[in-house]
Structure 1
Amino acid sequence: MLQTLRDKTSGWIATLILGLLIIPFAFVGVNEYMGGGGDVPAARVKAPPSWWSSAPAFWPVSMLWQHADVTTKDFKDAFEQQRIQQRQQQGDGFDARQFESADNKRAVLEQLVNRKVLELAATRAGVTISDAAVRAAIASEPVFQVGGKFDGARYAQVLSSQVPPIKPSEFERQQRDGLQVSLIPTALDQSEFVTPKAMDQLFQLLGETRDISIAALDPPILEQKPLTDAEVKQWYDAHQADFRQPEQVKIEYVEIDGNALAAAQTPDEAALRKRYEDEKSRFMAPEQRLASHILITVPEGADAAAQKAAEDKAKALTEQANAPGADFAALAKANSQDPGSKDTGGDLGWVDRGMMVKPFEDALFSMQPGEIRGPVKTDFGYHVLKLREQRGGGQTKSFEQVREELVKEERAAAAERAYSDTAGKLVNEVLKNPTSLSDAAAAVNLKVQTLGPFSRGDAQGIAGVPAVQRAAFSEALIQDGTASDPIEIGPQHSVVIRVLQHTDEQARPLAQVKPQVEAAIRNDRAKKAAAEAAQKVLARVQKGESLQDVAKAENFQVNELPGLPRGAPVPSPAGNAAVFAAPAPKDGKPSAGKVALDDGRYAVFTVNKVTPGKTDEIPEAQRVQFGQQIARLQGNAVVEQYIKTMREGFKIEVHEDRL
């Protein structure tokens, strides 16, 4: 049998089949062909080759297309970063379930897709970023500056303090990528401007005032005849959504408040002294070094010869600095390549441990005052170090000096222990019988309280805390009837809840809501009557009667409002918008309109005169600032259009099932 199989897999036919199979393997790799190649993309942006913009997308021509992927890891990292930002912004109001919505995920993915579109567009346009541009961008970041100037020590400290630490070479690569992606959008944004004529037109509109006559009409008096059962039933049937009872729950809960558990007593003196002795090292003044340096940089990717040249130069400078009568500051000003300290003679100020990269720190903190040492190699290049002074590292505050601090810490620790012990014991007891809180509460000498029924809109007390409310209305607690985990509502303050009763949202019977239905009918009739009355007045004005004559005949009052500015909440925000949306008077005839007021009444108005804003009274500084704001808005619109246009020329594949 094996021999037969061998015979059938030999010969020219088998060779041809094998050759055909090699083709896809050669293009996409065995791993990807078998479905196991790396992180699968959540989205892929494809672009035809720049030299063949109309290239078809079918195989094998599609192999010529460029592509950029948004991997599932890219998406997860961005989505988690967005989650952290929203949680920080919203605090207790953050709703994890709402955040996990499909729309939210798609919005984050769209941002990543747009970035990939810009990456491809920049690559196809041949955008490259020079080393000088990268260095200038880094030096301009305020976080890397001291006294308004780039500081190499500060730069090293910030990068090394990241979690995980970032190497300068990696950070520079990130900056280069970011500059490449943003170069075209930034150029488009900055190319926008506003002409003086357009500025004058905008100021004329924004500063425009209108002289108006306005009358707020009293609501018409309606006959309060009884409503028939048929009218009530018809309205109820047509508006059942307005008369539903919202979802409600009733809960029991146990509250754990650390402030109430721990008595504010002065800690034992022996305990305070023991704490002082155990933690004596933290009351020692930190060791600091007053340092200067000369930096000889080594370009990224430099060969051995370039590195050796930099090292030799640093050695020579070390010898010069150690020579009798040498001026270290003058040598630094003449030779150092650290732009942040060169002009100050290499001065780095007082340096704490952890501020510098390890080779620099190890050397500096092993030196004696006045000593000069070098070369010291770091990722930045070769340093010549001078230790000018040292302080701290041996002075310890006495027990009496720190006693009050220890008392506060001991009280806080006691309160935290009491809270943790009680919460831990309560949870253990709840786990024994999660369908009741009575036994668990008794075990920790706390009482069970009840609250509700309440809905999401009328929750009071602890139920008004968003986290508690989310748990109370969660499917898990409603369906299982079990106790929740402790829900934090403040520092050392939490509750454990259990849903006792749940009522779904449901229609309320007509008999129960009949008064509300009747009120809704009368309110609707009053609104329609008020709108109809206002329309009749407006029609008379539009036919040629003055608003004053109509007011006199109908016995209502007209108010004159000369110089009404745009945007003023008069007669209301909506009323002001309606006044300025009305056409300007024409041929000496005022224009007219009506608007509903916040109290249910209607107002009828006429626009008698329009006065454009005075452009010659606008301060130059305000004109410049306003022009910049308008140009920025226009620039944002241009960038959005650029991204949209690029997307239309690319092919975008989105795999929402991988989010």
Structure 2
Amino acid sequence: MRSLAPWFIITVGGLFVLFMVLSDSRVLDFTRTQSQNVGSVDGEDISYQDYSNTVERLRKQQEQAGQQITEEQMDYFRDQVWDMMVTQKLLDKKIKEYGIIVTDDEVREAIMGPNPPADIRQQFTDSTGYFNRQAFETAMRDPRNKDILITIEERERQRLTQQKLQNILFASVTVSENEAYENFIKQNIKMKAQYIAIDPNTIPDSEIKVSNEDLKKYYDEHADEFKIENQRKIKYVIFNRLPSQGDTLLVKKNLESIAAKLKVDTTSFKTYVQMYSEQPYKKDTVSITTLAPEAREVLSKANKGEIVGPVSTWEGMVIYKLIDKVSSKNEMVRASHILVRSSGNDAEDKKKIDEIYNELMKGANFEAVARAKSQDGSAPQGGDLGWFGKGQMVKPFEDACFSGKIGVIQKPIKTQFGYHIIKVTGRSNQNFVVEKIVNKVTISATTADKIYQDAADFAYIAKENGFESEAKLLKYNVIEAPPFNEEAAAIAGVGINKALVKWAFDNGVGDISDVFRVPSGYVVAMVSEIIKAGVKPFDEVKESIRSNVIRTKKLDKALEIAKKIKSQIGDNGDPQAALSIWPSAKIDTTNEFTTNGSIAKLGREFAFSEVALKADLNKWTNPVKGSNNAYIIKVTYRTKYDPQLFAFQKEGIKKELINNKRNIYLGQWVEQLKKEAKIVDNRYLFFR
């Protein structure tokens, strides 16, 4: 035993090292998962191999069609392929259930009959449109084309099978004569009208009294609005897939090396662009407003012909060659401001802004005061709004900026947003003519792997020691998502991930997930609340109901005002008389409209257009309650129904309607199949 001990130790040690290498490289994970399935549909497995091959085949087809699938788009693309495969499995099951069979003779007739598939027919059709039948049949019988013919036969068999399925499904889908007529009227009968509108928003709130009984009545009458399905809430930690500092540094160092060569090499900049840039060569004239801050800074200081960069921009890391600086017709300014937002109490707002202005006049630092007291999104940047040209800001603000002196703190001005104190910090009419080499900063495999491992480590530890306590210890931000139902494709704040939705409904409160891939990175989640189906309690929705009840009462009040106006003006009276009853009444005319579209200035007011369709010409209608206003309408023009035009268009209208109905029916039918099926999606275990 003593003589064998060294060999035993070496053997065990070697196995241990091998195990560690395999574990570290995740080869064990790989071999374990590859023998499994990515999911199943009603017990029928979808293998990793089949799914991956289908994704790759369809990706190549997209590329051949000129549509590149980027790494950022792959998750969404995989979801599309998965949905397609699930749908096909369900369709195949129904085809078998209905006993649908396509015979060899039917396939042969579809290919070799009088109407061959269009894409094949095209191959044997010359520029004059002549189809060479003899050449087609010769090619179809040529043994060398056997593989191509097999592919064509499989495709036609599948097409005929799905056509038979659709024939069964669409047997009950019809379009009546009346439906065609109504659609014709909606599209072809055009009208113009004069109208008097009473906007409910012009009725003061003080005239509207809302009691608890009113709220309860609305709640009872609109119970369907407050129904909730089974819902879940989750708390989650997100691990964003972003390039690390090392990834950024690697790109920067590479471009620094290229920039150094450019400064001594006589080779043209264009040649370097073609070799190293991820964007094609072009010479751009760019405005200072479109440049990233760092690029703006270095280009402003650079001389013509100088190579500058790399600098960080929203395109990535960029090396610029400054060709020229040219004057622009459009002046740009850079400004900072401090805003006191309009509160409805103008005197109080004016007092606040004056106090801030006096503080600045006594020597207070503008940026510090802006951070502390400005009431808009620029506060964290010390009030800096960046560069902008004319037409980008409201007029009073724009005028103050373009007329102001650089560095001078201006007296407060008022806009629709509130009161502003403005300081112009820059002015330029300069554009830059540049060439550039662009390299995106992308996440490396090492960084992506580390981010995933951090998420996996957190999931493991959280299951052992508690989700929120571990997140707090590791200084991870815990976010709670709004409620979502089982049909949700996405979770607010998280993004699209049906597998995560399903996991939330398959688990209970406090359960912690494994790692899920989402568009922005990785998520580890915990079910935080289970909300059962039912109706939201009255007390919970009471305040949200109040605004609806107020609006309903105001619209009713507007209708009463319209009735008074109608009694005053009769069928043919002067609409200006409406102003003596309600000074805020709006008197206007429409452009030409149909019942099928929106009305200029009014939007989609179906009650308005439906009444206009049947109203007597040149007579004021009785008051109409629309969705936005109460109206009195006088139709001044309406085209007549043309039976000959309807007869000419009828079949086309019917065809369009039946196609729409069939598409809607098929979509609803497939969705119902998915709801009833048992679909298992384990793809998150395979794809990071």
TM-score above 0.5: no
Return the TM-score normalized by structure 1: 0.41
Bigger Rg, which one:
1
Return the TM-score normalized by structure 2: 0.40
